[in-house]
Amino acid sequence: DADVTQTPRNRITKTGKRIMLECSQTKGHDRMYWYRQDPGLGLQLIYYSFDVKDINKGEISDGYSVSRQAQAKFSLSLESAIPNQTALYFCATGARANTGELFFGEGSRLTVL
C-alpha cells in the first residue's frame, strides 16, 4: 500500500459543484501539503499544515479550503468548482525534523466542465 494515498484518483465534475479531495498517510509525518500541478507552471502550493491545529495558506489558496481531521488526514475542498481549477492535485507529507524531503501521493486529476 502507498504511504500517501489520495482519493479519488480521477474526478469529472460540473461548474458550481462542491468537491472534496482526500489524503491520508501512514508515514507518521506531522506536515502535510496540497499542491496543484498545471502544464508549464510546475507545482504551486495551495495550503499546508504543520500539525492538526496549524493551517497555512500557500500561494494560490483562493477558491480552496482545507481540513486537517487528524495527523494522518488532510482534505482539500473546492466549495464551488470552476473550469480553471481543472488540474492535477498532489498531497505531500514531510517530517518535523526537516530534511526538505517531501513524500507525494500519486495525484488526483480533477476536470471541471
Q: Which residues of this chain interact with other proteins, rule CB under 8 A?
A: 4, 33, 35, 40-45, 48, 56, 58, 90, 92, 98-107
- Reported residue count of the chain is 113
Closest CA to 3 of 22, 28, 20: 28
Closest CA to 107 of 17, 62, 43: 43
Least separation in angstroms between residue 14's CB and other proteins is 26
* Comparison of 16 and 28: residue with beta carbon closer to other proteins: 28
In 10 A of CB 97, how many CB atoms?
7
Least separation in angstroms between residue 107's CB and other proteins is 6
* Comparison of 14 and 75: residue with beta carbon closer to other proteins: 75
Residue 47 exposed, middle or buried by CB count within 10 Å (0-12, 13-18, 19+): buried
* Comparison of 36 and 78: residue with beta carbon closer to other proteins: 36
**Which residue in the block uniquely carries the three cell numbers 499542491?**
35
* Comparison of 46 and 81: residue with beta carbon closer to other proteins: 46
Least separation in angstroms between residue 91's CB and other proteins is 8
